[in-house]
Amino acid sequence: MTNPTLILALDQGTSSSRTAIVDRHGRLVSVAQKEFKQFFPKSGWVEHDASEIWTTQLETAQQALRLGGISDNQIAGIGITNQRETIVVWNRKSGKPIHHALVWQDRRTAGDLEHLRAQGVEAKVTEKTGLLLDPYFSASKLAWILNNVDGARASAQRGELAAGTIDSWLIWNLTGGKLHVTDVSNASRTMLMDLKTLEWDEWLMKLFNIPQGILPKIVDSSGVCCETDPAIFGRAIPIAGIGGDQQCALFGQSCTQAGMSKTTFGTGCFLLANTGTELIQSRSRLLTTVAWRMKGAPAMYALEGSVFMGGASIQWLRDGLGIIRSAPEVNELAASVADSDGVVVVPAFTGLGAPHWDATARGAILGLTRGTTAAHIARATLEGIAMQVVEVLEAMNADIPSADQDESIGIMRVDGGACASDLLMQMQADLLGIHVERPAILESTVLGAAYLAGLATGVWTSAKEIESLRRVDRVFAPMMSPSIRVEMRKRWRKAIEKSRGWEEQS
């Protein structure tokens, strides 16, 4: 039998579980996807059923193998990428979660973090983790579960519980409960790992009252860490690549050198710039994060700006307002009007991310008149997505050392499902005033997971070889006049101020 050359890439996202089989040419042989239920128990609370996540992920893996006519012997390794800060706590003996997973979008711990902020600890937290005291990250969510589920803290102290981000949960199930690990990129999003030592930090765990025994072992992003239970796929398959979704998208876009950047348009929007082995502390309220660590090499770092509501804003138009029946319909509806007629939509439905980090902000629709139609609101929603990215790029340009702020990022590589919209990408180019480059394969996240695993199993030999596989679909050039761009940005800033601190205002 010839050496296997295919990678099984698991992509566990916020709204669906997906699996792709990737060949040595960087092509998707087959893809399977399945949505799962979202739970919203209270305003600002977002939960997932972790058992359903595992079930849907396994089902899509098995379906992708069937669709591609692929046998287990053709798979060289498994790569895993995942929604990052979402936290799961489960019983080690039964393997069952003790509570729904708390999703990265969940804001229930905002008050707890305000109390910590009042104690003056945020600067030290940021120095250690590169993160800000925001409910986005895992630590406060994990503390909430331990504090609010009956008997959870006592069980954790007895060593009966395991906790981890979604990668840890999937690996636990893939190995039949034999291994509890996470990679450095996911660990860097928990607010419990020191960015310099790349280990769980004693001071941070004490701050959040997290027992260390509940946490997984931290491993490389690229390197064989374990094998699957043979009963799952017919034989034991190496798990060789692990990375948070945005770090994998950065790798999948071949942004492997310092200064290269990408923006993913998924449920949220995430702009990452590779800073190499240099750990840059942001002056603009961006995040410093681990990009990846290859086996035997030092960790690579990135600056990140996170927008909570990207494609999820389009889902709101569909499921919340009911003005479209499917997500792609937003393009036709928004394109039916020349502009938004002064309407501004701030999609701060779960607070504002970078650079504001305002958990109390709420969504707003401003500038309504009797002439406003569903088309104007649809167009303004797309503009609201793009405007959030503009703010992050401006902050990132300010952070990049010795760079001309107008030239530091002159082209934006994009990926993710929402960037399939030509209208949204043209808006983005117009509002940024720079070129936007869309690849032929939008699934950079799943490609990144595959590439991390393939490098560890010999499918590919170098990042340079992977870069040669990349193909560009289209480049969007800015066409908007500078005066209109300035006016729209001004209107956006006024709308942002209206949406901020809404809970205090009311």
* Digit-coded pLDDT (tens) for 163-222: 999 999 999 999 999 999 999 999 999 999 999 999 999 999 999 999 989 999 999 999
- Each residue of 55-108: pLDDT tens digit? 999 999 999 999 999 998 999 999 999 999 999 999 999 999 999 999 998 999
Q: Does residue 156 have a pLDDT over 90?
A: yes
The average pLDDT across 266-293 equals 89
Phi, psi of 434 (to 5 degrees): -135, 170
Residue 290's pLDDT band (cuts 50, 70, 90) = very high
Q: Does residue 401 have a pLDDT over 90?
A: no
Q: Note the Cα 140 to chain centre separation in Å.
A: 18
Residue 113's pLDDT band (cuts 50, 70, 90) = very high
Q: Does residue 399 have a pLDDT over 90?
A: no
pLDDT for the residue numbered 406:
42
Q: Does residue 124 have a pLDDT over 60?
A: yes
Spatial CA neighbour of 338 closest among 388, 380, 386, 370: 380
- What are the Cα distances from residue 322, in Å, to 57, 347, 377? 29, 16, 12
Spatial CA neighbour of 11 closest among 74, 79, 110, 107: 79
Are the C-beta atoms of residues 29 and 76 closer than 8 Å to each other? Answer: no
- What are the Cα distances from residue 55, in Å, to 208, 331, 402? 31, 33, 48
The average pLDDT across 336-363 equals 88
Are the C-beta atoms of residues 396 and 273 closer than 8 Å to each other? Answer: yes
- What are the Cα distances from residue 356, in Å, to 326, 461, 496? 31, 41, 9
Residue 403's pLDDT band (cuts 50, 70, 90) = very low
Phi, psi of 436 (to 5 degrees): -120, 125
Phi, psi of 487 (to 5 degrees): -65, -40
- What are the Cα distances from residue 319, in Å, to 16, 265, 312, 313? 16, 19, 10, 10
- Each residue of 419-454: pLDDT tens digit? 888 999 999 999 999 899 999 988 889 999 999 999
Are the C-beta atoms of residues 19 and 32 closer than 8 Å to each other? Answer: yes
Count other Cβ atoms within 10 Å, centred on residue 46: 21
Q: What is the mean pLDDT of the chain?
A: 91
| Counts for the chain of helices (H) and strands (E), in that order | 18, 23
The sheet carrying 47-48 orders its strands as 47-48, 101-102, 87-91, 161-165
The average pLDDT across 31-42 equals 94
Of 149 and 2, more confident: 149
pLDDT for the residue numbered 351:
84
Of 501 and 475, more confident: 475
Residue 409's pLDDT band (cuts 50, 70, 90) = low
- Each residue of 295-320: pLDDT tens digit? 889 999 999 998 888 888 888 889 88
Count other Cβ atoms within 10 Å, centred on residue 141: 28
- Each residue of 131-143: pLDDT tens digit? 999 898 999 999 9
pLDDT for the residue numbered 296:
87
pLDDT for the residue numbered 201:
97
Residue 506's pLDDT band (cuts 50, 70, 90) = very low
Q: What percent of the chain has pLDDT over 90?
A: 72
Checking DSSP bridges between strand 181-183 and strand 217-219, what pairing results, if any? parallel
Q: How many residues can be counted in the chain? A: 506
For 418, the token pair is 């929402």
Is residue 369 exposed (0-12), middle (13-18) or buried (19+ Cβ within 10 Å)? Answer: exposed
Torsion angle in degrees (nearest 10) through CA of 308, 401, 472, 83:
-30
Q: Does residue 49 have a pLDDT over 70?
A: yes
- What are the Cα distances from residue 35, in Å, to 18, 143, 164? 9, 28, 22
Q: Does residue 273 have a pLDDT over 80?
A: yes
- d(C-alpha 452, C-alpha 455), whole Å: 5
- d(C-alpha 58, C-alpha 312), whole Å: 24
Count other Cβ atoms within 10 Å, centred on residue 2: 6
- d(C-alpha 19, C-alpha 446), whole Å: 8
Q: Does residue 366 have a pLDDT over 70?
A: yes
Are the C-beta atoms of residues 309 and 347 closer than 8 Å to each other? Answer: yes
Residues whose CB falls within 8 Å of the CB of residue 506, separated by 6 or more in sequence, listed in order? none
The average pLDDT across 350-356 equals 84
pLDDT for the residue numbered 353:
82
Count other Cβ atoms within 10 Å, centred on residue 467: 13
3-class SS string, 442-497? CCHHHHHHHHHHHHHHCCCCCHHHHHCCCCEEEEECCCCCHHHHHHHHHHHHHHHH
109-135 b/e (C-beta count within 10 Å ≥ 16 → b): bbebbeebeeeeebeebbebbbbbbbb
Checking DSSP bridges between strand 28-35 and strand 217-219, what pairing results, if any? unpaired
The average pLDDT across 346-356 equals 86
The average pLDDT across 32-40 equals 94
Are the C-beta atoms of residues 398 and 309 closer than 8 Å to each other? Answer: no
The architecture that CATH gives domain 311-392+484-505 is 2-Layer Sandwich (3.30)
- d(C-alpha 316, C-alpha 318), whole Å: 5
Report whether the peptide linkage leading into residue 478 is cis, meaning its omega lies within 30 degrees of zero.
Answer: no
Domain boundaries, the chain: 311-392+484-505
Are the C-beta atoms of residues 365 and 377 closer than 8 Å to each other? Answer: yes
Phi, psi of 391 (to 5 degrees): -60, -40
Of 333 and 397, more confident: 333
Residue 504's pLDDT band (cuts 50, 70, 90) = low
